[in-house]
Structure formats: C-alpha cells, structure tokens
C-alpha cells in the first residue's frame, strides 16, 4: 500500500513517515502544496495524508485540483483548525476523512486502515485464489480456512500478485508497490520475499501457487 504525506512541519512529517513505514506502508513525503499536487497527480497512492496549511498552495486547493483531475486516492486532511466550516469545506471538496491536530499516531493509522478498507470494498474485498483467501480490507490471508502469518511486506507482495492473479507481475511492478520513490530498490530483495511467501502459502506435494517466469516476473493463480 502506498501513502503520500504532504506536511510542512518537519518533526511531524518525519514522525508520520516513520510510523507509516513501521506499519508496512510504502511512503513518500513532501513539504509544500505544489510538490504534493505533483506527486498525488500520478494517481499511484492508496491514501494521501494532506495538511491544510501548506506553503505554495494550500491543502484545500490541492484537494480541489486532484478531484477535478479524477484522482481516486483517498484523502485524509490534517488541520490545526477545529472549526466546523473548515471540516465541511474539506469534505465538500472531496476529502474522505478529517483529523484535527494534535492527534495520536495510532488514530491516524486507524483512519488510514479504514480508508483502505473502504477503497477495496468498492471492489471485491476478499480475493479467492485456489486454497487462498485474501481479505484486502483486513489484510488477512487464509489457506484452507487457516490464517497465514505474514509480515507487512510479505502481505503487500502477495496482494499485488493476487490482484493480478493469472498474469505475470514483473519485479519492477512489485518494487513499485513496496518501496517509496526515495528507497534503494533491489529485485534480489523481491526474490527473497517470494521465497518466504512460498514457504508460507504452499504445501509439499501439492500444486504450486506461485511460479517464477524467468526473466519476466512472477505469477499467482490458475495459470501458474
């Protein structure tokens, strides 16, 4: 899952990035409205955490422009102004949720989980692939009804493969899903995590669920 943080106050921005990464999200962060609009306009983020009071252009204008461009990312507005008219204005512009500063990191993470669940519930929240059931809202994986214990990164890789079940997913596409733009990317790391996944979701003597397409990537599902 990819999250963009647009926040000009450096200590808060660093705290949010650290907390989100520890929770398993790929995170990018910028400090002004113009950069926030440029990043968010790629439409590659599940959630945008957007401060209202920003240098350059403010969060309301960023939000208005994103919605005019039909950017589908969920937007969580942050503000120090706890006034009804500000909340109403943000929601009317297309914000999905609103959080007033100061707030606990645990609450922000809970709000993001809720937004992600809502986004996936617009589609099918549970993906069924052979013996696997992947609850994309709750981020829970089961094999034959038994919960499989995955790390945050293992889950993120499995989810992108599941969303494209039966099709080859390249290493680059997997890297895009699990790394932020600033991170040093390594396809070798992807190979290692694929190995971890195989050990957790496959059973000896049973058909493979996850196959390598040499030189191309990986495929999960019926055509594996």
Query: Which of 207, 180, 212, 208 is closest to 193 using CA atoms?
Result: 212
45-57 tens-digit pLDDT: 889 999 999 999 9
Identify the domain boundary among 60, 93, 121.
121
pTM of model > 0.95: no
Task: Tell me which residue range forms the domain holding 89.
Answer: 2-121
Identify the domain boundary among 86, 121, 156.
121
The tokens for 97 are 């949720």
DSSP secondary structure letter of residue 187: H
CATH number of the domain enclosing 211: 1.10.10.10
What is the distance of C-alpha 25 from the center of its chain?
Answer: 6
CATH number of the domain enclosing 113: 3.40.50.2300
Please give the share of the chain, as a percent, with pLDDT higher than 70.
91
Residues 34 and 75 in one domain: yes
SS3 readout for 108-161: HHHHHHHHHHHHHHCCCCEEEECCEEEECCCCEEEECCEEECCCHHHHHHHHHH
Domain count, the chain: 2
Identify the domain boundary among 72, 98, 121.
121
145-175 tens-digit pLDDT: 999 999 888 988 898 898 888 888 888 888 8
């Amino acid at each position: 899952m990819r999250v963009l943080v647009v926040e000009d106050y450096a200590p808060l921005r660093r705290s949010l990035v650290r907390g989100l990464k520890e929770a398993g999200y790929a995170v990018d962060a910028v400090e002004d409205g113009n950069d926030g609009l440029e990043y968010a306009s790629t439409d590659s983020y599940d959630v945008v955490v957007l401060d209202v009071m920003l240098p350059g252009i403010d969060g309301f204008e960023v939000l208005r422009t994103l919605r005019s461009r039909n950017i589908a990312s969920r937007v969580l507005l942050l503000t120090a102004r706890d006034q009804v008219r500000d909340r109403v204005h943000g929601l009317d512009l297309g914000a999905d949720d609103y959080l007033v500063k100061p707030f606990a990191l645990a609450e922000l993470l809970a709000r993001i989980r809720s937004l992600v669940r809502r986004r996936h519930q617009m589609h099918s929240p549970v993906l069924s692939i052979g013996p696997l059931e992947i609850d994309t809202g709750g981020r829970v994986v089961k094999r034959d009804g038994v919960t499989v214990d995955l790390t945050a990164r293992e889950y993120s890789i499995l989810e992108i493969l599941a969303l494209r079940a039966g099709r080859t997913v390249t290493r680059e596409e997997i890297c895009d899903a699990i790394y932020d733009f600033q991170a040093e990317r390594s396809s070798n790391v992807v190979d290692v995590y694929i190995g971890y996944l195989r050990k957790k979701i496959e059973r000896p003597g049973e058909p493979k669920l996850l196959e390598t397409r040499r030189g191309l990537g990986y495929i999960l599902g019926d055509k594996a």
